[in-house]
Structure 1
Amino acid sequence: MTSLDVSWHAVHRMMDETRRRPTFSAVWSLRLALFSGALAISGIVLHRFLGLSTPVLLNVLKAAFVGGGLALLLALVAIVRIWFTGRSGGAAAFGGLLFSLALFAWPAYYIPVVRDLPAINDVTTDLHAPPPMSALANLRGPGANPADYPGEHFVEMQAVAYPDLQPFLLSRPVDEAFEIAAQTVRRLKYEVVSETPPGGSFEQPGYIEAVDRTLIIGFPDDVVIRVMGDSETSQIDVRSASRYGQHDLGQNASRIRTFFAELRKVLDSSVPAAAEADNARSKGRATQQRRGGRGRGDRRN
């Protein structure tokens, strides 16, 4: 065997070893995709259960999506190289591709929602005088949305997108309506921040300020419930506003609908008790009238 043959065999062995070794892009696409997914999940868990602040979580998610995008790009490069060169690493490349796509499947799910719903983050049943934030305003730190209602451009978009959101009117005294609203808040497990009972007239409404969190990630949304009325009728208005983010994905409107649906259940459950009380009062008055009639008859006799 000549030296040329030896060199040729050595080159062949090197080429075979190179083909058997996975490509750099395939290996790192999988590693980066797994790391990005773990980073996103860890951030969500820490935020939901261990008190990680929302601004920090948002930065963590941004980093995770950047990593996922880079992993997707590396996976595509690896697949092309493997196709043309026959290098190994197909499993790693497809793994990186699938894991990175899985990471982006979550935000991609909301693309139709973003397309169909307006980019607003503050929704109210009273577009002309939204319930103001008082105690909740102190919870909105740096990076959070302003506590004041955004203004007319939100009014126009909400009126078109959510025409069903209107004040809740009921034929109950304002004190009773406030208690019904407070009971609804407790049943929905909102975190109550402040509670101010009404003064008994439309000029002195009562307020409940509370925090509700999204189911999975636990983003905090602020809720203000205003109850005003008199001794006969009442009006309940609700304002739900995202503390962070420019698009609420319809969450605030859905929350108000859920609140009113639960309030109707509380209201319906209180009707029998109210009816029984009315019946008891009616029976009491009838008994007094009968007794009074007998007493007057005895005196006349």
Structure 2
Amino acid sequence: MARRFSAPYQTEPVSSLATWSRNLAIFAVVAVVGSILIVRFGFLEMKPALATFFGALALAVLSILVGLAAFAAIWQNGSRGMGRILLAFLINAILLAYPAYLALQYRKLPPIHDITTDPIDPPRFEALARLRSGEGANSAVYAGLYSAEQQRIAYPDIETVELEVPPQRAYEVTLALVTKRKWLVIDERPPQPPRRIGRIEAVARTPVMGFREDVSIRVTPDGEESRVDIRSSSRYFESDLGSNASRVTKLIEDINSAVDNAKPAAPKKPQAPAKAQAKNVKKGS
């Protein structure tokens, strides 16, 4: 018959499996943080850095399995270590939550990595093209009609931004927003006669891992008004898990808001003074 804490609890030995489960979870955290730093600061190439990251996730899964075995052992022999198991499970849950969310996004979203407001004539990567020539990097050339169709189905609201301001003003507003986001601006060319086309090329980073995603923005005249087209493309991986679409959508919203807020308020029409009512004068008989 199993002994369930029959002796005083403090005198029972600590389960070695529980200790291993906790230690594996802690080591997984260290490995994940290390892999993120490796990617963000470019200490290694992308493949070994990602191998480190996925190896850390594998350690977290192993920690859970060892923790389950430790729980079964404690249930059988009454040894200590439940606190270590719970700590390991908590660490692993936090560690695996975001990758699990990304896996769900991968199943739900189309496998595309290049998002643009103008699939017919997307803004080109010129200064950024040389940065996309490394091993495993995606091409600087637009992904093509298949990507455009997948984008249309998944993100139908991503369209060219039409502004009721001159190209120079649209360019200044857009550049200010890019700078505010702390994207690394690689090239900026304000609208110049005769074509008056402005261009901005910048590098954005994903929030957690810091993967580089390239952004090209084109400002073109439309009579006295202007049009802004945006392209955001992951430098690596076939699927961006929705990050580029989110970036483009948010930038579109901010451009429209910035231009609308800068418009002068329409002057109020002065109200006409109320007409005085004529007094009825009674004539004496």
The residue aligned with 1:280 is: none
Q: Over residues 96-122 of structure 1, what are the superposed CA-to-partner deviations in whole Å (9 max), with x where a residue is unaligned?
A: 333223211222234443343222221
Counterpart CA distance in 2 for 1:135 and 1:185 is 16
Question: Contact 2:163–2:256 (CA<8 Å) still a contact in 1?
Answer: no
Cα offset, 1:57, TM superposition = 4.0
Greater helix content: 1
Cα offset, 1:213, TM superposition = 1.9
The residue aligned with 2:127 is: 135
Q: Select the structure of larger CA radius of gyration.
A: 1
Matched, 1:101 2:93: yes
Question: Contact 1:43–1:60 (CA<8 Å) still a contact in 2?
Answer: yes
The residue aligned with 2:67 is: 75
Counterpart CA distance in 2 for 1:209 and 1:186 is 11
Question: Contact 1:225–1:237 (CA<8 Å) still a contact in 2?
Answer: yes
SS of residue in 2 equivalent to 1:272: coil
Letter in 1 for 2:75: W
Q: How many residues align?
A: 255
My pick for the range that moved more, 216-225 or 104-113, is 104-113
* 246 and 80 in structure 1: CA distance in 2 versus 1, 3 angstrom threshold: farther
Letter in 2 for 1:65: L
Matched, 1:163 2:156: yes
Counting only pairs closer than 5 Å after superposition, residues 39-78 of structure 1 correspond to structure 2 as: 39-45=31-37, 47-48=39-40, 52=43, 55=46, 57-78=49-70
Q: Over residues 49-100 of structure 1, what are the superposed CA-to-partner deviations in whole Å (9 max), with x where a residue is unaligned?
A: x554572542331121011111112111222233234444333333333322
Counterpart CA distance in 2 for 1:32 and 1:159 is 44
Letter in 1 for 2:181: L
My pick for the range that moved more, 86-95 or 141-150, is 86-95
Matched, 1:211 2:203: yes
* 91 and 179 in structure 1: CA distance in 2 versus 1, 3 angstrom threshold: closer
Matched, 1:261 2:250: no
Question: Contact 1:200–1:231 (CA<8 Å) still a contact in 2?
Answer: no
The residue aligned with 1:176 is: 169
Gapped regions of structure 1 (runs ≥ 5): 1-18, 277-301
Letter in 1 for 2:216: V
Counterpart CA distance in 2 for 1:225 and 1:261 is 15
Counterpart CA distance in 2 for 1:29 and 1:183 is 49
Counterpart CA distance in 2 for 1:100 and 1:170 is 48
My pick for the range that moved more, 249-258 or 52-61, is 52-61
> What is the aligned-residue identity percentage?
38
Cα offset, 1:270, TM superposition = 3.9
The residue aligned with 2:227 is: 235
* 102 and 176 in structure 1: CA distance in 2 versus 1, 3 angstrom threshold: closer
* 271 and 97 in structure 1: CA distance in 2 versus 1, 3 angstrom threshold: closer
Task: Please give the root-mean-square deviation of Cα atoms over the aligned residues, in Å.
Answer: 2.8
Letter in 1 for 2:169: E
